[in-house]
Amino acid sequence: MSEHSIAGKKVAFLLTDGVEQIELTSPWEAVKEAGGEPTLVALSKGRLQGFNGTEKGDTFDVDLTAAEADASEFDALVIPGGVVNADHLRVDKDAQKFTRSFFEQHKPVAAICHGPWLLIDAGVIRGRKVTSYHTLQTDLKNAGANWTDEEVVVDQGLVTSRSPKDLPAFNSKVVEEISEGQHAGQTA
């Protein structure tokens, strides 16, 4: 059980087909265990296909689409990774707008592995200290981020991690930042 309570806090998980399953399910469970209410937000309605590496995993029911979701109804955003998932999210205008809204409202945002790719296209990464899967470092640096190779990085409510091996530290910081609430330095 987390030392931080986020009872009653609503947390959006933004993803699509190709999500790295453990990067969805592990933070989702951490949010639930701390009393939070996770909601699956995706690009389209229906069910999404998770993956364990290159192997198909479970499917997950979509609660809301990014087009119909409103960041003002949530307390935080989590963006799981997975190459295919992240590549589709980053070019979707609704996903970009939804993500950017959390920064504009100074709310915590967490992205792991390939998830930070979306932050580039949402226009919220310049000047922020982040980490990610190592193959994204050039993209993030070119977008103006201060990339570092660390287990978990927290910058004014923005939580980033590198890969599934970092999930324990990532989950802990996600719950901690949500419990702290809005961060004045979390801006678009």
The Cα 119–Cα 96 span in angstroms is: 8
pLDDT of residue 182: 92
Residue 46 buriedness (CB in 10 A; 0-12 / 13-18 / 19+): exposed
Token pair belonging to 47: 């069910």
Angle 89-74-11 (CA atoms, 0-180°, nearest 5)? Answer: 70
pLDDT of residue 188: 83
**Are 71 and 3 a contacting pair, CB within 8 Å?**
no
Q: Summarize pLDDT for 98-118 with one digit per residue, the tens.
A: 999 999 999 999 999 999 999
Q: Which entry of 4, 106, 113, 183 is annotated as an active-site residue? A: 113
**Are 110 and 77 a contacting pair, CB within 8 Å?**
yes
Q: How far apart are the first and last CA of the chain?
A: 32
Given a cut of 80, whether residue 3 has pLDDT beyond it is no
Q: Which residue type does 147 have?
A: W
β-strand pairing of 64-65 with 47-52: unpaired
Domains (range + CATH), the chain = 10-180 (3.40.50.880)
Given a cut of 90, whether residue 169 has pLDDT beyond it is yes
Is residue 134 part of the annotated active site? The answer reads no
Q: Summarize pLDDT for 35-91 with one digit per residue, the tens.
A: 999 999 999 999 999 999 999 999 999 999 999 999 999 999 999 999 999 999 999
Given a cut of 60, whether residue 1 has pLDDT beyond it is no
pLDDT of residue 2: 55
Is residue 113 part of the annotated active site? The answer reads yes
